[in-house]
Structure 1
């Protein structure tokens, strides 16, 4: 029997509690709470698939990154470090991110494809993104992808 991502999170939470790893246990608790909230949202309760759980974890990791940046800008280094550490815990459950070189190679291929289809200049952004998104999937954040596309289209 295969273990689902949710049961893995529960098992890891129990292990973190036994090890008295406060950071890991609180991060996993918050993530499981977000998953449960998502499951009961809407008209009826449902079980999330692993893909949907990955989306929730991705969203939680993004919140941690943004909070870390906000704390760092506000001069609260300790809070920023905590958010970064929580983001690193969540990153263990996410697919490995593409390196900049890998992302640029995929984007360059998509730009060439879009140009072959007649899309030119900055207006080609939408066409290129449509080609890139399925190839990249969850392995790169949308903002990173958009920045790479914009950079290649401009020059």
Structure 2
């Protein structure tokens, strides 16, 4: 079952169980996917749907930080619940140790030796961890390894 089909099935299930919150989150994601499909005039595959999900999760994490800084616990709690629902559709996340091992392996593969090679490393590394690791964490680990 593709990711889009799973979203559709979960939306139907949320309607049947009258879970309005989950239904609204899934509809929001499906609307974002549909907008991109309309813009690109094609149906998105699972990798492209994962990109949309990643973007939505990143937006919520950024907003969550801002709400916590502003002391808006009510809004932060709502975003936490949305993040939990969106995370169900993401592949299993890599541990920090697994990410470190992939970073080291990629640095060896591209022959990087200094921070000037960071672009090469990131270009080769991101497809390997796409959707399974946070970009900020990957960036930090690459910087640490190259310094």
- The match for 1:14 among 12, 16, 32 is 12
TM-score norm. by structure 2 comes to 0.90
What does residue 144 of structure 1 align with? 137
What does residue 26 of structure 2 align with? 28
Cα deviation 1:15-70 (Å, max 9, x = unaligned)? 1122222221110010011111111114xx32211221111111111111111111
The question of 1:5 aligning with 2:3 is answered yes
The question of 1:131 aligning with 2:124 is answered yes
Distance (whole Å) between structure 2 residues aligned to residue 112 and residue 53 of structure 1: 31
Give how far 1:88 is off. 1.2
1:94-105, aligned counterparts within 5 Å? 94-105=90-101
- The match for 2:59 among 63, 77, 87 is 63
TM-score norm. by structure 1 comes to 0.86
Distance (whole Å) between structure 2 residues aligned to residue 103 and residue 121 of structure 1: 19
Secondary structure class of the residue paired with 1:20: coil
What does residue 89 of structure 1 align with? 85
The question of 1:78 aligning with 2:71 is answered no
How many residues are treated as equivalent by the alignment?
147
Query: Gaps (5+ residues) in structure 1?
Result: none
RMSD: 1.6
